[in-house]
Amino acid sequence: MQRMTRQRAAVVDALTNVDEFRSAQQLHELLRAGGNSIGLATVYRTLQTLADGGELDVLRTQDGESLYRRCRRREHHHHLVCRQCSRTVEIDGPSVEAWASQVGADHGFTDIEHTVELFGTCEACRAGDTSR
């Protein structure tokens, strides 16, 4: 059975107030800064649970960190993420899905899963390039 706790509510709330992909640690800090007392392990667990339930999208950065985000669209889609500020655009690859399973079948593979993510530098970050 799933219980609604103060902590879980806080995590969900934080996620709805943020539009970019954020790491568990970042969210933990955010919550603490916002006056919420919550343990890091709890943040991890909650994100895990939400992600399993399809409430959240997970993304792994090039250096292996997991980033989480509550997406508008619940159906399967992909992301275009700014590698500096994490600004995110939801996109769909019209033919990607079909292509993926086709290629898989062609080579005798089943249960095809695919990972398609785009990274780039967004307009705002390109302008303020002097930072960092």
Partner DNA sequence: GTTGGTATTGACATTCATTCTCACTAAGCG
Partner DNA sequence: CGCTTAGTGAGAATGAATGTCAATACCAAC
Binding of a copy of itself at residue 39 (CB under 8 A)? no
- Return the structure tokens found at 75: 């159906």
Stretch that binds a copy of itself, among 16-24, 27-35, 41-49, 107-115 (CB under 8 A): 107-115
CA distance 27 to 23: 6
By CB under 8 A, is residue 64 in contact with a copy of itself? yes
CB of 67 to DNA, least distance (A): 8
| Nearer to a copy of itself among residue 62 and residue 131 (C-beta) | 62
Q: Does 17 bind DNA (CB under 7 A)?
A: no
User: Binding segment for a copy of itself among 10-18, 27-35, 68-76, 115-123 (CB under 8 A)?
Assistant: 115-123
Q: How many residues does the chain have?
A: 132
- Binder of DNA out of 16, 33, 62, 64 (CB under 7 A): 64
Q: How far apart are CA 68 and CA 19, in angstroms?
A: 10
Rounded Cα gap, residues 23 and 15, in angstroms: 11
DSSP annotation string for 30-92: HHHHTT----HHHHHHHHHHHHHTTSSEEEE-TTS-EEEE--S--SS-EEEEETTT--EEEE-
Number of residues located near DNA, criterion CB under 7 A? 24
- Chain contacts with DNA (rule: CB under 7 A): 1-8, 23-25, 37-42, 44-46, 48, 64-66
